[in-house]
Amino acid sequence: MQKGMHTDTERCVRAVRSKDARFDGWFFTAVLTTRIYCRPSCPVVPPKPENMTFYPSAAACQQAGFRACKRCRPDTSPGSPEWNQRADLVARAMRLIADGVVDREGVPGLAARLGYSPRQIERQLLAELGAGPLALARAQRARTARLLIETTTLPMARIAFAAGFSSIRTFNDTVREVHALTPSELRARTSRNDARASRNDAREPRPDSRATPGTLTLRLPFRAPLNPDNLFGHLAATAVPGVEEWRDGAYRRTLRLPYGHGIVALTPQPDHIACRLTLGDLRDLPVAISRCRRMLDLDADPVAVDDQLRADPLLAPLVDKAPGRRVPRTVDEAEFAVRAVLGQQVSTAAARTHAARLVTAHGDRVDDPEGGLTHLFPSPEALAALDPESLAMPRTRRATLTTLVRGLADGTLNLGVDSDWPEARARLLALPGFGPWTVDVIAMRALGDPDAFLPTDLGIRRAARELGLPSTPAALTARAAAWRPWRAYAVQYLWATDSHPINFLPV
């Protein structure tokens, strides 16, 4: 799979005819006779090839006058893997749009963050996605509106503003145009169909009347296969007390969001991730969903990753044993960078202890009626004001941590979804106490670089020796060139050879 797949008509037709769910989110099928657009795996009888045209985004379909299919619900497809595996301008822009920047700051704000003019951003997005930033943000608002209409009993006026619309009229017009139903009809249709199941069901369950006020229950789709063991095992084993926990089969954590805070519970299911979100402000819904999807690496293309890694005869047995491993990432890049420094040259338990002390002393308190979450992880601004002498760690690591948080707080170091990966790496390496391991683990889990590699990691070197791979960093890096651009996923398979708790789904 590659950029511009929608331009390969023959390949797209084959994918539609085979109803291959792996291609959902890579492109969308627009049917000229019905003016409907679908995901490739739509369960209906495929149209004739001459009646199909293909678009790279739902926004492009909507802009061309097509409405979403009511059967396959293309707006609930997993996102394109491109935006999480690339670091170019378009990918960075797409990550920012998913994070709600256009709704909060407009296209000028998006352009300012990326360092380009609004016209340049518009031109590049149109060229690759067939839609500009406003159309892409509008499609996201329509998706959020549908989600709130179908999963809550909120009044439509409140849904309109929570989804980011500037007026009730715009909300009504957009929902009617995208879904060919008014908001009230969409809610009524959902109520009638609650008991019905459909193939590739991407529907979210109706809200539980006993749930905490402000709580939404929904499904996060993904491309199969997905192995939850290392994904949730890693998050649970490294959980910071007060901020994260594993409870009743779910990974739970607090979220610092643009308009307030939230609490999320994520539970792995065979065909989706069950997500329960409690938000202080419903305007944070699309951002919270985007960050949770990114943390769980749900938009990855596991077939492409595993096929390439399986080509190495020493990795093939690991991939065949447990395919679909994801890279556990983060909902807060600055938080992860701080935790990476706290974890330098200490055990997982010691790193959690250091982090918990920072949380108790400097984190904002939250109320969690369901469990044991007590705080948001401290912001860089809060940590920049701390007294280094209060840190129970070696003096050199204190200097490393304080230099990091100052850079994050004053903006000279950007690790956000809009960051330029090579530039971020260079700035991290220039900080005192930052070596290749710390930079690469931040690149892998915070920046989201799918090709980040950890040849000096003790677990990786131990796995290499056991498998017969080169164990010296230079030789292992040379061997790993064949795994590019998926070396971060190779790390997950190599780590899985160990009995460390990060590799096992908690019980």
Characterize the bridge pairing of strands 261-268 and 67-68: unpaired
Sites in the chain below the pLDDT cut of 70 = 1-4, 193-213
What's 219's DSSP letter?
A: E
For 329-414, where are the alpha helices, taking DSSP H only? 333-342, 348-362, 380-384, 395-410
Yes or no: say if 217 and 481 are a contact pair by the CB < 8 Å rule.
no
Q: Are residues 294 and 318 located together in one domain of the fold?
A: no
pLDDT for res 387: 85
Q: Compute φ and ψ for 24, nearest 5 degrees.
A: -60, 130
For residue 198, being part of any structural domain is answered with yes
Q: What is the pLDDT of residues 464-481, one digit of tens each?
A: 999 999 989 999 999 999
Q: Are residues 235 and 102 located together in one domain of the fold?
A: no
3-class secondary structure, 38: strand
- Contacts of the segment 407-415: beta carbons below 8 A, 24+ positions apart: 407/431, 408/334, 408/337, 408/380, 408/384, 409/379, 409/380, 409/381, 409/383, 409/384, 410/384, 415/333, 415/334, 415/337, 415/442, 415/446, 415/447
What's 365's DSSP letter?
A: B
Q: What's the number of domains the chain is made of?
A: 3
| CATH of residue 224 | 3.30.310.20
| Domain-terminating residue out of 173, 203, 233 | 203
For residue 131, being part of any structural domain is answered with yes
Bridge partner list, 30? 37, 53
For 221-347, where are the alpha helices, taking DSSP H only? 228-237, 285-295, 302-310, 316-321, 333-342
For residue 208, being part of any structural domain is answered with no
Bridge partner list, 173? none
| Domain-terminating residue out of 298, 326, 351 | 298
| Domain-terminating residue out of 264, 298, 332 | 298
Q: Are residues 248 and 327 located together in one domain of the fold?
A: no
pTM of the complete model = 0.90
Q: Are residues 334 and 395 located together in one domain of the fold?
A: yes
Q: Are residues 291 and 312 located together in one domain of the fold?
A: no
Q: Are residues 395 and 250 located together in one domain of the fold?
A: no
pLDDT for res 212: 58
Q: Are residues 271 and 362 located together in one domain of the fold?
A: no
Of 92, 418, 148, nearest to 283 (Cα)? 148
Q: Domain range holding 237?
A: 215-298
| CATH of residue 8 | 1.10.10.60
Q: Are residues 136 and 6 located together in one domain of the fold?
A: yes
Angle (deg, nearest 10), helices 101-114 and 118-129? 110
Q: Are residues 32 and 177 located together in one domain of the fold?
A: yes
Number of neighbouring beta carbons within 10 Å of residue 320: 10
Q: Compute φ and ψ for 15, nearest 5 degrees.
A: -65, -40
| Both tokens assigned to 449 | 């670089």
* Whether residue 205 has a cis bond before it, omega within 30° of 0: no
Q: Are residues 287 and 367 located together in one domain of the fold?
A: no
For residue 358, being part of any structural domain is answered with yes
CA distances in angstroms from 87 to 6, 116, 424, 450, 492, listed in the order given: 21, 15, 11, 10, 21
For residue 210, being part of any structural domain is answered with no
For residue 481, being part of any structural domain is answered with yes
The residues that are catalytic are: 38, 457
For residue 209, being part of any structural domain is answered with no
For residue 289, being part of any structural domain is answered with yes
For 411-455, where are the alpha helices, taking DSSP H only? 421-429, 436-442
Of 102, 44, 108, nearest to 71 (Cα)? 44
Of 90, 84, 122, 127, nearest to 106 (Cα)? 122
Q: What is the pLDDT of residues 135-190, one digit of tens each?
A: 999 999 999 999 889 888 889 999 999 899 989 999 999 999 998 889 999 998 87
Distance of alpha carbon 185 from alpha carbon 493, whole angstroms: 47
Q: Are residues 168 and 193 located together in one domain of the fold?
A: yes
| Both tokens assigned to 120 | 């340049």
Distance of alpha carbon 196 from alpha carbon 206, whole angstroms: 13
Q: Are residues 288 and 353 located together in one domain of the fold?
A: no
pLDDT for res 506: 87
CA 219, 220, 223, 226: dihedral to nearest 10 degrees?
A: -90
